[in-house]
Chain A
Amino acid sequence: MARLSRYREHRFFRPVLLALGLFLAGALFTAGKAAAESMESKALVISADKATLIKEGKEIFARGCSSCHGLNAEGAGAAPSLIGVGSASVDFQVGTGRMPMADMSQQAVRKPPVYDEYETAALAEYVASLAPGPKALTNEEIAWERDGNAASGGTLFRNNCAMCHNLAGQGGALTQGKYAPTLMGVEPRHIYEAMITGPQAMPVFGDKVITPAEKLDIIKWIKEVESEPSLGGATLGRVGPVTEGLLAWTLGLGALIGVAVWLTSKAR
């Protein structure tokens, strides 16, 4: 305690304390605001009735999406028709930030979403109202933690997913510069929605081919791999022998040659 009070007499004590206090307050406020907004937005989704959601969704669509997908979501040019894609597709594409796309040339990339949960839900409801399609899910609806079986999920994953997304879900190359994205850090519901809607180059995995229970198994396995500690040390990206070979040549042989240079040099 005496030590602490000694610091208190330091001439930087006050300014530092002030800066620290301000920083903490700011951080707390930002975090709080975000949390509040997200909760508010979620609460809004729950409280809002379908008709209002569809109406608001239509407005957002007209402002943000119609320039590519057409005023009635009928699609135009490279932008596909959204009639019948269902709310699952909208929730996946908008919820992972892929839509709206930054530019038309490349594959839609995952980025921080532009619309909040309420707006996304409104868009999804609007698109779902055009024609029936796969329904969006909430994280609460998919009880992967309770019902999933990682071992079965692993087998399913290796059979159906690993060829594109890599054996550890790190993503991989497709043709002509396209790629299958990494699955690390993806919301479980988005994984589920991707399987039932088949976004972009990804094929559809219908409920008869991979049952809903099996889908939970897959999610459970992905989440287990994601949270798996690096059991043998640094994981080197989990992309297989290429990075291992690189490390063997650079750090491995490099360090040993370094030692050899020291070993054969003359001492002074």
Chain B
Amino acid sequence: MSLQPIQDPGLPTHVHRKADTDPKAAKRAEQQVALLFLTSALGTILFIFSYVGIPQDQLIFLPILGTTNAHQLFLGLGLAISLFFIGMGAVHWAKTLMPDHEVVDVRKEQRSKDEDRAAFVATIKEQGATAGLGRRTLIKRTLGLSLGLAGLSPLLMLRDCSAELPGDELAQTNWRAGTRLLTDPGDRPIKPGDLEVGAVAQVLPLLPAGRKRTLNDIAKDALLLIRIRPEEFNLDTERLSWTYQGIIAFSKICSHMGCAVALYEQSTKHLLCPCHQSTFDVTRAAKVIFGPAARPLPQLPISVDSEGYLVASAPFNEAVGPSYWERDSE
């Protein structure tokens, strides 16, 4: 420790509190503590009354909060008062009436004394030698082997966490050539005429009869249908042939992290993802124009069937949703 420019004046002298010297002040403090504890008791009574006495659907109007549920509010306030004031009482008690002399305790270095350390090393060595740890290498090695192997079994047992392996499932959806587009919700087939220019529709595929739609299906099948004026498209001939009379269909599952991309701005023809603000240009096949997404939204080729309803003319030609290692993105 370097020399201090000013020497340690030591602990400041203890200043007595009012309650230490004035019995009246002490009495007052005692009464205050008691009052705090009594307030807590009142809180509990309010809690019990609210639980049994206030109907669960009782509403009450209060400024700032507005119309709120009286049962929940007074139950909570009762609990809050009952707990809070126990604490306040205890602390006030400790501060005003319990001894407030600061105490000094000595601190020792964490390190053990040298002789203790030496004794420890000696013990280890001695015990190790008696057990023959140094000599019996066969035992050591086989023990290591069996412990290592035993550790494998719980790992192996995690295998059935998933009955199936990904395979190419992540690249599959329920869209096939000829699958009808249905409104979501409502499950009604859609004709091109149902969509005005500037209109959107949330769409799911018609599943084979008897198959119930699950969330797993929706997580990959969800589709957004947008109609603009055909001359506004800025697409190559192939992609243009995937549209139908100005109607274009994109996977609604974001190519970034899988949120539902559905904020369509009719005025700018931009699609925005609300999770991370990737912005896609509908007229250029959902090209990314802002944000973290690195790939356009997959486009589904559509046309109409013999009855005039919109159908997929082919499956998606790439995996929908967020990227993964085996995804062929080229």
Chain A residues near B (Cβ < 8 Å):
152, 155-156, 159-160, 163-164, 172, 174-176, 178, 180, 198, 200-206, 208-211, 214, 229-235, 262-263, 266-268
Contact = CB atoms under 8 A, between A and B. Distances in A.
Given A230-B66, A231-B69, A233-B73, A201 B265 contact: yes
Given A231-B72, A233-B68, A234-B65, A266 B199 contact: no
A266 B193 CA distance: 79
B100 A266 contact: yes
A198 B72 contact: no
Contacts of B200: 160, 203-205, 209
A229 B268 contact: no
Nearest to B270: A175
Given A204-B266, A231-B68, A267-B96, A174 B272 contact: yes
Given A163-B260, A208-B194, A209-B199, A156 B68 contact: no
Query: What class of interface size applies to chain B in its complex with A?
Result: 35 or more
Interface stretch (B39-47, B125-133, B182-190, B209-217): B182-190
A266 B19 CA distance: 13
A128 B267 CA distance: 22
B257 interface: no
A175 B282 CA distance: 14
B262 interface: yes
A178 B194 contact: no
For the residues of A in contact with B, the DSSP-based class is: loop
A200 B18 contact: no
Contact of B66 (A156, A203, A235): A235
Nearest to B259: A163
A232 B202 contact: no
B279 interface: yes
Given A172-B274, A267-B17, A208 B190 contact: yes
Nearest to A232: B72
A174 B185 contact: no
A198 B227 CA distance: 12
A267 B185 contact: no
Contacts of B199: 198, 203-206, 209
B68 A230 contact: yes
B95 A267 contact: yes
Given A172-B274, A266-B17, A267-B17, 9 more contacts: A175-B272, A175-B277, A201-B265, A204-B195, A206-B196, A208-B195, A209-B199, A263-B95, A267-B95
21 contacts: A155-B185, A159-B184, A172-B274, A175-B268, A175-B270, A175-B279, A198-B198, A198-B266, A200-B266, A201-B265, A201-B266, A203-B199, A203-B264, A204-B200, A208-B188, A209-B183, A232-B68, A234-B64, A266-B15, A267-B17, A267-B95
Nearest to B91: A263
Nearest to B222: A159
Nearest to A155: B185
Contact of A201 (B76, B268, B290): B268
Interface in B236-286: 260, 262-268, 270, 272, 274, 277, 279
B191 interface: yes
Nearest to B72: A232
B254 to A, nearest CB: 11
B207 interface: no
A231 B68 CA distance: 5
A229 B59 contact: yes
Contacts of A229: 59, 66-69
B280 to A, nearest CB: 10
B226 interface: yes
Contact of B201 (A198, A200, A209, A268): A209
Interface string B57-77: 001000011111100110010
Contacts of B198: 198, 203-204
Contact of A233 (B72, B226, B274): B72
Contacts of A172: 274
B274 A268 contact: no
A208 B186 CA distance: 10
Contact of A230 (B18, B65, B260): B65
B183 to A, nearest CB: 6
Nearest to B185: A155
Contacts of B73: 233
A208 B191 contact: yes
Nearest to B70: A229
A167 to B, nearest CB: 10
B270 A209 contact: no
Contacts of B202: 159-160
A209 B272 CA distance: 21
Contacts of B193: 208
B190 A175 contact: no
Contacts of B186: 210-211, 214
A174 B68 CA distance: 32
Contacts of A233: 65, 68, 72-73, 76
